[in-house]
Structure 1
Amino acid sequence: MELPLFDLMTIVSATSNFSIENKLGEVGFRSVFKGTMEDGQEIAVKRLSKSSRQGLDEFKNEVTHIAKLQHRNLVKLLGCCFQEDEMILIYKFMPNKMY
């Protein structure tokens, strides 16, 4: 299953440069931010911490497995971004959900 790749600058813009006001919380080595795309779509952005030891190949493998999971009780994964030294998952935003 091919997932859309998001441009890093699009994600930076959507989250106001990962501003603290948009931070929803932290999960393990990931911070989660709320973002709004140019078309108004709300997204949840899960950003891997720079202190994580997860490599790019492991990240891509994780993305592949998550993309295959589809269930009405799971938040939809919209795509990912791995540019520069960033590894990011982009989900559909759902209020009061865990990412």
Structure 2
Amino acid sequence: MLGDNPELPIFDSEKLATATNGFHLSNKLGKGGFGTVYKGKFPNGQEIAVKRLSKSSGQGSEEFMNEVVVISKLQHRNLVKFVGCCIEGEGKMLVYEYLPNKGLDSFLFDPKKQSLLNWRKRFQIIEGIG
């Protein structure tokens, strides 16, 4: 299914490990319920964010592949660009463009920033994504 889509790059785990300096702790951007995100850089200078899915996420290969296909079709100016994925064995990873600012959730839900983004503005952002 994924191999039939030439627009969807599939990276090998070695290339992503090299880009993130072996998933070094200094490149860790964050961790969530589905895995850890690392900053990386390809030899051509392109900065990336690699979400390394945890084995405990419970997501099987078929579910992962379906998610990748859906994500690859969701391109919008208000969404981080999906760059590709890695599907080698247990090393399921999603690759996105790296954006140096915090994630959208920090702007929507950080109490210190509430004065900057009232509920009307938050709704406009959410509408723009849809």
**TM-score (norm. length: structure 1):** 0.93
Matching of residues 1-99 of structure 1 within 5 Å: 2=5, 3-98=8-103
**Offset at 1:96?**
1.4
Paired with 1:80 and 1:56, the residues of 2 have a C-alpha distance of 12
**Offset at 1:30?**
1.5
**1:51-84 deviation line (CA, Å, top 9, x unaligned):** 2210010000000111110110100001000113
Counterpart residue type for residue 96 of structure 1: N
**Offset at 1:98?**
2.8
Which protein is richer in helix relative to its size? 2
Report the 3-state secondary structure (helix = DSSP H, G, I; strand = E; otherwise coil) of the residue aligned with 2:69.
helix
Q: Count matched residues.
A: 99
Indicate conservation of the 8 Å contact 2:82/2:96, yes or no: yes
Flag the structure with larger Rg. Answer: 2
Indicate conservation of the 8 Å contact 2:33/2:57, yes or no: no
Query: Gaps spanning 5+ residues in structure 2: where?
Result: 105-130
Whose relative contact order is higher, 1 or 2, with alpha carbons under 8 Å and at least 6 apart?
A: 1
Give the percent of matched residue pairs that are identical in Structure 1 and Structure 2. Answer: 55
Report the 3-state secondary structure (helix = DSSP H, G, I; strand = E; otherwise coil) of the residue aligned with 1:87.
strand
Paired with 2:11 and 2:103, the residues of 1 have a C-alpha distance of 21
